[in-house]
Amino acid sequence: MHDIRLVRDDPDGFAAGLSRRGLDGAAIAAGLATRDKALRELLTRLQTQQARRNEASKLIGQAKAKKDEAQAKALLEEVAGLKDAIQQGEAEQRTLEAGLRDALATIPNIPAADVPDGPDESANVPVPGRAFGPPPEIANPRQHFEIGEALEQMDFERAAKVSGARFVYLKSDLARLERAIAAFMLDMHTQRFGYTEVSPPVLVHSTAMFGTGQLPKFQDDLFRVPVGEGDPFWLVPTAEVPLTNYVADEIVHEAELPLRMTAFTPCFRAEAGAAGRDTRGMIRMHQFSKVELVSITTPEQSAAEHERMTDAAQEILKTLDLAHRVVTLCTGDMGFSAQKTYDIEVWLPGQNAYREISSCSNCGPFQALRMNTRWRGADGKVKGPVHTLNGSGLAVGRTLVAVLENYQQPDGSVAIPPALQPYMGGKTTIAKP
């Protein structure tokens, strides 16, 4: 969420930032300014009325002491009128505040200055020096679902019978491979990069979804779990939600920052806007698993932390010897809460294309303002909102896809990358039972 003071102090800069996202920034800024002006004028009026009410209340006592009943009556009538006016004004204040808050809640983050402008993924820019390769040369490569089904360890048909489209059963060595990949990632992030492993809730309340920006704008992409008459639960689309909200409504001391957390969880997405895309295979599922990275930092730390987080995610792919590249997302392809995002795209021989396997985003103070999370300096003073960052470290299902396609063998088996072999009981190959 944005601080209304940003709109108030620099409306042109705010409008220009939103215009880079393809929005009518000037109209949005003008609408917010109108709401803000109406609210501030109302608050000024309420303060004036309250001050006069307090003054008139004192004068009543003085009038009665002088036995000036006419004056006392007039003052009593004035106080009663002010009381009614203040109550009406406070109701109006709540309405105006809610309207301003709701308007701010649906506006995306402002892109960082070095984010490339563009309408969609075609304008994303490769990051020099961060590509890793080259891709392997495989004759007549098959896609992962062809490999998995031939191994008789990947079953979409039975999953559809139980749950519908975009679900899968993994069995035998492929089920173990999924678990092995997650364990390998967690060990790498905790032992090499200093992230604290967390096992978080995967059912969260609406306030948590609001805090990280999924609500109210993207509720159609979420799975809602109503419970009774109260606030519903939501299945998390990523562990970003419970990990980032770990510090919601708190003041974090500077000595604790940067706070780095990682978690392996199931993730759930309705994929409401993905009709017709990746309908076969494991690329786009309603339920998938992911190792998430989250960092909470001071403003001065966040840019460097963004690079470090991306390095950590990349190191997983490098250790697995999977060719990949890193791109900076343009303004039209960036997520709602992000001010800058790097996508890591892994090479999939079966598709003859690079596909996203991780997004690492710096959200700046955007989520912290929604969560009411601030930090306290070494001098004891509260400095303002923290910065939050999140990234996939990595999507476990897509990493399994990449391993199957890049390590496929001519006889239909799949070689297990050396880094994963200890997690597979020393096995070197996955073959049909």
What CATH number is given to the structural domain containing 175? 3.30.930.10
Mark which of 46, 70, 105 sits at the end of a domain: 105
For residue 31, tell me if it sits in a domain. yes
How confident is the model over 308-328, as a mean pLDDT?
98
For residue 116, tell me if it sits in a domain. no
How confident is the model over 100-118, as a mean pLDDT?
97
CA distance 173 to 186: 20
CA distance 172 to 190: 27
Query: What does the pLDDT read at residue 228?
Result: 78
User: Are residue 135 and residue 89 in the same domain, yes or no?
Assistant: no
For residue 113, tell me if it sits in a domain. no
User: Are residue 372 and residue 282 in the same domain, yes or no?
Assistant: yes
- Active-site residue 359, yes or no? yes
Tokens for 151, please give them: 């191994």
**Full-model pTM:** 0.93
Q: With 90 as the cut, is the pLDDT of residue 127 above it?
A: yes
User: Are residue 208 and residue 320 in the same domain, yes or no?
Assistant: yes
- Active-site residue 157, yes or no? no
Catalytic residue among 269, 308, 370, 374: 269
- Active-site residue 52, yes or no? no
CA distance 4 to 105: 11
User: Are residue 178 and residue 68 in the same domain, yes or no?
Assistant: no
For residue 59, tell me if it sits in a domain. yes
How confident is the model over 143-149, as a mean pLDDT?
98
Catalytic residue among 130, 142, 356, 376: 356
Catalytic residue among 284, 325, 355, 376: 284
Query: What does the pLDDT read at residue 433?
Result: 86
- Active-site residue 356, yes or no? yes
Residue range 151-183, pLDDT digits in tens: 999 999 999 999 999 999 999 999 999 999 999
Catalytic residue among 176, 260, 374, 398: 398
Query: What does the pLDDT read at residue 279?
Result: 79
What does the mean pLDDT of the chain come to?
Answer: 96
Contact indicator for 282, 159 with CB cutoff of 8 Å: no
Query: What does the pLDDT read at residue 271?
Result: 81
For residue 112, tell me if it sits in a domain. no
For residue 111, tell me if it sits in a domain. no
pLDDT category at 273 given cuts 50, 70, 90 is: low
Q: With 90 as the cut, is the pLDDT of residue 135 above it?
A: yes
User: Are residue 92 and residue 219 in the same domain, yes or no?
Assistant: no
CATH number at residue 77: 1.10.287.40
Mark which of 105, 136, 161 sits at the end of a domain: 105
User: Are residue 96 and residue 64 in the same domain, yes or no?
Assistant: yes
pLDDT category at 230 given cuts 50, 70, 90 is: confident
Mark which of 70, 105, 140 sits at the end of a domain: 105
Tell me the residue range of the domain where 65 lies.
Answer: 4-105
Contact indicator for 171, 236 with CB cutoff of 8 Å: no
Among candidates 307, 300, 342, which has minimal Cα distance to 325? 342
Give the 3-state secondary structure of the chain.
CCCHHHHHHCHHHHHHHHHCCCCCHHHHHHHHHHHHHHHHHHHHHHHHHHHHHHHHHHHHHHHHHCCCHHHHHHHHHHHHHHHHHHHHHHHHHHHHHHHHHHHHHCCCCCCCCCCCCCCCHHHCEECCCCCECCCCCCCCCCCHHHHHHHCCCEEHHHHHHHHCCCCCEECHHHHHHHHHHHHHHHHHHHHCCCCEECCCCCEEEHHHHHHHCCCCCCHHHCEEECCCCCCCEEECCCCHHHHHHHHCCCEEEHHHCCEEEEEEEEEECCCCCCCCCCCCCCCCCCEEEEEEEEEEECCCCHHHHHHHHHHHHHHHHHHCCCCEEEEECCCCCCCCCCCEEEEEEEEECCCCEEEEEEEEEECCCHHHHHHCCEEECCCCCEEEECEEEEEEEEEHHHHHHHHHHHCECCCCCEECCHHHHHHHCCCCEECCC
Catalytic residue among 359, 374, 392, 405: 359
User: Are residue 251 and residue 355 in the same domain, yes or no?
Assistant: yes
User: Are residue 370 and residue 289 in the same domain, yes or no?
Assistant: yes
How confident is the model over 9-33, as a mean pLDDT?
97
Q: With 70 as the cut, is the pLDDT of residue 274 above it?
A: no
Query: What does the pLDDT read at residue 277?
Result: 73
Tokens for 153, please give them: 């360890």
Tell me, rounded to whole angstroms, the distance of Cα 30 from its chain centroid: 27
Residue range 53-90, pLDDT digits in tens: 999 999 998 998 888 889 999 999 999 999 999 999 99
User: Are residue 252 and residue 393 in the same domain, yes or no?
Assistant: yes
For residue 36, tell me if it sits in a domain. yes
User: Are residue 84 and residue 207 in the same domain, yes or no?
Assistant: no
Helix axes 302-319, 172-191, angle to 10 degrees: 140
pLDDT category at 100 given cuts 50, 70, 90 is: very high
User: Are residue 240 and residue 319 in the same domain, yes or no?
Assistant: yes
Asked whether the bond before 394 is cis by omega within 30 degrees of 0, the reply is: yes
User: Are residue 52 and residue 131 in the same domain, yes or no?
Assistant: no
Say how many domains are in the chain.
2
Query: What does the pLDDT read at residue 227?
Result: 85
Residue found by looking up tokens 């409401």 in the block: 272
